[in-house]
Amino acid sequence: MLVIQFIIGAVLGSFLFASYFRLSTGGNLFRPSRSHCDSCLVTIDWFDLIPIFSYLMLRGRCRQCGQTIPKAALASELFFASLLLYWRPTLISTLYLLAGSLLFFMAVSDARFLTFPVSFDYGLMLCAITGYVLFNRHYLMVFVIVLLWLGLQLFEPHFAWIGSGDLDVFLSLLVLLGLIPFAWLLLLSSLLALITSQIVKQRRLPFIPFVAAAYLIVLLFI
């Protein structure tokens, strides 16, 4: 069953990233109907569309023109394949899946532009509040956190070490995961960011990609 979930997740990740990439670059979801290379416009054969496997076999390049395929395409297939390993046919598990999906595409946008659409942020908060209200009875905590979130929207504090959008994400994940899993997520994401900054010798990095990676680790192992 886990193998089937992994395969379905990889296919889902491939489809979602292709759809996201088309929309974010001003394309159309339905025209052309088949996948094509954005550089040479050649229609991609089915055997070059096998998630994960095709990317590795092609070494991340178009078979026809050699144009580089975005690494985020492979990351999406691996992320969703792993995320679906966690999924069970329950409402709370589905909310975690939706939150992880939003978090991944926020990470893609953050990696490219150092920002992400506010609609994704609202969607993440909606998942968090829905999960908390349905499966917890301590409504006072979520009420306080929602007030804090509204305060961030009104005053938009500016910190040198973290973006205001990142704070929104942290509040949402605190509500969704609970204190202990969130503490692990914060620790892991900070550790991953610190290690990466030392490797690439870059002081300023987009943080949401590390949060998305830590979110996946927390769901699967903690």
Residues 18-66: tens digit of each pLDDT: 888 888 777 676 676 677 777 787 888 888 889 999 999 988 898 888 8
Length of the chain: 222
SS3 68: strand
pLDDT value at residue 152: 64
pLDDT-above-90 percentage for the chain: 47
User: 48 near 103, Cβ under 8 Å?
Assistant: no
* pLDDT band, very low/low/confident/very high, at 140 (cuts 50, 70, 90): low
Residue 85 CB neighbours (<10 A): 16
pLDDT value at residue 200: 87
Residue 86 CB neighbours (<10 A): 17
Lowest mean pLDDT among 8-12, 79-83, 129-133, 173-177: 129-133
More reliable by pLDDT, 11 or 66: 11
End-to-end Cα, the chain, rounded Å: 21
pTM: 0.88
In the chain, where the domains are located: 1-86, 90-222
pLDDT value at residue 202: 78
